[in-house]
Amino acid sequence: MTLARWSGDAYLLTSQKLLQDQYEREFGGELQLVKGRDNYLCERYPDARVPTSRGVCRRPRGPLCQCPYARAKAAALAGPIFCTNTSYFVTLRHWHAEQLRRRRLLVIDEAHNLEAQLVHAFTVAFAQDDMRAWFGAPLARLQSAEEYRELMASHLERLEAQREEIGRALEAFRPARVPSDLFLETPPSREEQDLLVQRDGLENALARIRFFVDGEDREWVVRYPPDAGATLELVPLTVTAMARDLLHDSAEFTVLSSAFLGHPRVLAEYFGFDADGARVFTCGSPFAVSQRRIVYRPVGALGRASLERLEPALFAAVAAILAAHPREKGLIHAPSYAAGRRLIGDLATRAPTLAARLIWVGSAEAKARSLELHRATREPTVLVSPSLREGVDLPDDFLRFQIVTKMPFPDLGDPWTRARRDRDPRWYALETAKALVQAYGRSCRHAEDHGVTYVLDALFERLLRQYRVLLPAWFLDAATSALRVHAGADAWDGGEDA
C-alpha cells in the first residue's frame, strides 16, 4: 500500500479473495477493489439473491446497467489503486486488454504464487457435466496434448454453433408480444439461470480452447485422473511468455512481493524478464526467534510410501500436542484432504474431547466460513486443512501453536508437477522451500505476537541439508535451533556446503 500510494497510479494484485478482504478491512476507501461477477448481487432482484453474472444485464437484450459489479469495476479502472486478485486480473489482461490502461506501478503481492496463478488462468478444463453437455459424453483418454489439439480443433465450429443455440434458447424465454423491459422485471427462472451459466461457461471454454489450439509453440501437459467423474485439464507446462506480457505491458515498474521468492535470476528465467534490470530488497525477520520457535518432534520420514505405516505414530503425536495446549487455538497443516480426514477420524476414536476442538476445512470454498467460526468462538478451536499454509492472518490468540505434519513436497503423482520437476529440478526444490516458509509464517504476525510451530516429519532435517541455500537466513535461525535442541547442543551442523 505504501508503494501504491507513492505511485498514485497502481495495480495491486493479491493471490486470494480473502486477502482482498483484508486489504479492504485495513485500508478501506484508499483503494478501489473489484472481484468477479459472482461476488455481487443484482440489485434489480433484491429478494431473489441473483448474482450479477446471471442478473438483468446478462439476460438477452438486458440493459447496460450500473450494477454493483459494474460500479466496482468502473471505480477500480478510474481510481488510483486498482485492487483485485491475480487470477481475475490475468484473465482481464489477456482477453480484454483494451480495458486496462498501462499504469505507473504493478504490485503483485504473494508473488510466490504467480506461476500457479498464471497456469490456472490459461488451463483448459472440462468437468464431466461439461463434456456431456458439449461433446455428448466424457472425452477419451488420449496420450498427448497434440492429440487433444487435433480433437479440439475439430470441435470448435460445432461448439460455436452450440453457443448460438443456447443464445436462441435464452431468447425463447421471453413470451411473444411481451416487451423486453416488462419481461426483465421478473427474476430469471432457475432454467434461465442454468442456461446463462452454460453460455458463460462455454464462452470461457472457447476462449481457452482457441488459446490451446493456437499454442503449438508451447508445451502442454494432460491432467486426466483415472477416477470416475474426473476433470480433464490441458495445462501449460511453463508460463514465461504469458508472464512476460503481463509484467512488461501492465505498468512502467513491477514489484514482486513475498515473504520468500527465491533467487532473482531463477525468477527472471521463469517469468521472462531481464535479471540485470531487477533490483532486490530483502530484510531479516523483525521478530525474535523466541517469538516464532520451531519444535522438532520427528515420528519418522513421511514419504508417499511410508505415510500410511507411520500415520498411527503421527496421529498420536498430534494428540499429545493438542493435549499440551488445552486452552489455546491452533492450526494443523494436513498433507492432503484425505490425510486430514483420516486424522480427524482417528482422533474422534482416540481422544473424543480433543477431536471436538477441531474445525475441518474440507474445501477451498469452506475456508472463509471456517476461519470466521474459528475467530468468533471463545473455545480453543484448532483448524485442520492442507490449504491454510498461506493467505491466512491469525494473529495473537487466534493461533498460538501450529503443527506441520509432513514436509510440503509438491505431489509427484500429478503429471504437471512431475513434468515441471523433470524439466527443472530447481523448481521442485524451490516450491518445497516456499511452501514450508509460508506455513511457518502463520505463527507470528506482528512484533508483540508469538507462536510455536511443531514439525513432525523427519524429512525436515534432510530438507534443511539439501535446500539450505534456498532458505532465508531468518527461517534457518529457527530451524537450526530446533534441530540442535532435538539432537543436543552442537550435535547438528547444516554445513556451509550442505
Cβ count within 10 A of residue 446: 12
Of residues 38, 39, 67, 49, the one with CA closest to residue 187: 49
CA angle 458, 311, 430 (to 5 degrees): 40
Please report the pLDDT score of residue 65 as a whole number.
87
Of residues 465, 463, 466, 456, the one with CA closest to residue 486: 456
Of residues 196, 205, 121, 117, the one with CA closest to residue 158: 205
Please report the pLDDT score of residue 146 as a whole number.
94
Report the CATH architecture of 2-122+240-277. 3-Layer(aba) Sandwich (3.40)
Cell digits of residue 465 = 541439508
Q: Based on C-alpha coordinates, what's the Rg of the chain?
A: 25
Tens place of pLDDT for every residue, the chain, 498 residues?
999 999 999 999 998 888 888 899 999 889 999 999 999 999 999 999 999 999 999 998 889 889 999 999 999 999 999 999 999 999 999 888 899 999 999 999 999 999 999 999 999 999 999 899 888 899 999 989 999 999 999 999 999 999 999 999 999 988 887 887 888 899 999 999 999 999 999 999 999 999 999 988 889 999 999 888 899 999 999 999 889 888 888 999 999 999 888 888 888 999 999 889 899 998 889 999 999 999 999 999 998 889 889 999 999 999 999 999 999 999 999 999 999 999 999 999 999 999 999 999 988 788 889 999 999 999 999 999 999 998 788 999 999 999 999 999 999 999 999 999 999 998 999 999 999 999 999 998 999 999 999 999 999 999 999 889 889 999 999 999 999 999 885 455 554 433
Cell digits of residue 118 = 498464471
Please report the pLDDT score of residue 484 as a whole number.
93
Please report the pLDDT score of residue 151 as a whole number.
93
The CA distance from 109 to 304, in Å, is 32
The CA distance from 498 to 496, in Å, is 6
Question: Angle, nearest 10°, between helix axes 240-249 and 264-271?
Answer: 100
pLDDT tens for 369-427 read 999 999 999 999 999 999 999 878 899 999 999 999 999 999 999 999 999 999 999 89
Same fold, 2-122+240-277 and 289-487: yes
What CATH homologous superfamily does 289-487 map to?
A: P-loop containing nucleotide triphosphate hydrolases (3.40.50.300)
pLDDT tens for 316-369 read 999 999 999 999 999 999 999 999 999 999 999 999 999 999 999 988 788 889
Q: In the chain, where are the structural domains located?
A: 2-122+240-277, 125-236, 289-487
The CA distance from 307 to 302, in Å, is 5
Cell digits of residue 423 = 524439466
Q: How would you list the strands of the sheet with 10-14, edge to edge?
A: 32-33, 81-85, 10-14, 103-108, 251-256
